[in-house]
Amino acid sequence: GDSVTQMEGPVTLSEEAFLTINCTYTATGYPSLFWYVQYPGEGLQLLLKATKADDKGSNKGFEATYRKETTSFHLEKGSVQVSDSAVYFCALSDSGGGADGLTFGKGTHLIIQP
């Protein structure tokens, strides 16, 4: 079945550092890929998504590129802020995300220190 593997946390960085959170997946067919973020005390929010190979999703300075050849969807940000501290989930869907449930990674807790 489908699965998502993302790097274990917590990841602790200083403000303005470069961020990479690795995510790889296994799936049949051509899944859509997502990054969700969960800020403290809040529910999951969609951060960005990509629906086909070589697509780049971007939002709030975060980017991730759908790499079919390496089955990866790594999350990056050039300069993190304290407000980026949250738990980040990589996820996939066999459809566009509406018809099927999502398969999630375990989540990566990101801590940004001032």
Residues that bind another protein (CB under 8 A): 4, 32, 34, 36, 42-46, 49, 51, 89, 95-107
Q: Is 51 exposed, middle or buried (0-12, 13-18, 19+ CB in 10 A)?
A: middle
Pick 98 or 114: Cβ nearer another protein = 98
Q: How far is the CB of 43 from another protein (least distance, A)?
A: 4
Going from the C-alpha of 40 to that of each of 62, 63, 84, 87, the distances in angstroms are 19, 22, 10, 8
Pick 40 or 114: Cβ nearer another protein = 40
